[in-house]
Chain A
Amino acid sequence: MNQKIRNFLTSNEMIVVYIIAGLAILIGSVNHAFNSISTVVNLARTMLVTLIFAMCEMLVIVSGGIDVSFPAIASLAMIATGNIMLKNGLDNVPLAFLMGAVIGGVLGTLNAVLIAVVKMPPLIATLGVSSMTSGATLAIFGAKILTVLPAKLDELYKVSLFTYTNPEGITYSLTVLFLIPIGICLLMWFLLKYTMFGRGIYATGGDIRAARIAGFNVTAIQFFVYIMSGILSGIAGITYMILMRAADPSVLMGSEMMVIAAVVMGGTRITGGHGTVLGTILGVTLISLIKNNLIMLGVPTHFQTFVIGLIMIVGTSITSLKAKHIANSAKI
Chain B
Amino acid sequence: MQKITNYFKKADRIALALLIGSVLIFVLMGVTHPKFFGKSNLQSMLIQCPEYGILAFGMMIAMIAGGIDLSLVGIANLSGIVAAVLMLRMGGTNLSIGIGIVAAVLVGSLCGLFNGFIIGFLDIPAMLVTLCGLQLYSGLALIITKGPAITGLPETFSNIANGKLLGVPIGAIVFVLIAILLCYLLYYTVFGKSLYLMGTNKIASRFSGINNLRITMLTYCLSGIFGSLAGILMASHYNSAKSDYGTSYTLLTLLIVVLGGVNPNGGRGKVMGVVMSIILLQLVSSAFNILRVNAFVKTFAWGLILILVTTATYLTAQKEARD
Contact = CB atoms under 8 A, between A and B. Distances in A.
B142 A306 contact: yes
Given A121-B265, A132-B303, A270-B127, A305 B298 contact: no
Interface stretch (A176-184, A188-196, A309-317): A309-317
B281 to A, nearest CB: 13
A302 B136 contact: no
Given A124-B254, A302-B147, A135 B132 contact: no
A132 B307 contact: yes
Interface of A: 66, 114, 118-121, 123-125, 127-139, 257, 260-261, 264, 270-271, 300, 302-310, 312-313, 316-317, 320-321, 324
Contacts of A129: 303, 307
B251 interface: yes
A139 B288 CA distance: 14
Nearest to B293: A139
Contacts, number: 133
Interface size classification for chain B: 35 or more
B131 A135 contact: no
Given A130-B303, A131-B300, A135-B300, 16 more contacts: A118-B310, A131-B299, A131-B303, A131-B306, A135-B297, A135-B299, A136-B296, A138-B299, A139-B294, A139-B296, A257-B131, A260-B131, A270-B127, A309-B132, A313-B132, A313-B133
Contact of B118 (A120, A121, A300, A313): A313
B302 interface: yes
B139 interface: yes
Contacts of B91: none
Nearest to A258: B135
A317 B122 contact: yes
A312 B132 CA distance: 6
A124 B125 CA distance: 15
B135 A127 contact: no
A139 B300 contact: yes
Contacts of B137: 309
Contacts of B298: 135
21 contacts: A114-B310, A124-B306, A127-B251, A127-B254, A131-B303, A131-B306, A132-B299, A135-B299, A136-B300, A260-B131, A270-B124, A305-B135, A306-B140, A308-B135, A309-B132, A309-B133, A309-B136, A312-B132, A312-B135, A313-B129, A313-B133
B301 interface: yes
A257 B314 CA distance: 29
A316 B132 contact: yes
Interface in B255-306: 255, 258, 264-265, 294, 296-304, 306
Interface string B113-147: 00000100011110111011111111110110011
Contacts of B264: 121, 124
A320 B123 contact: yes
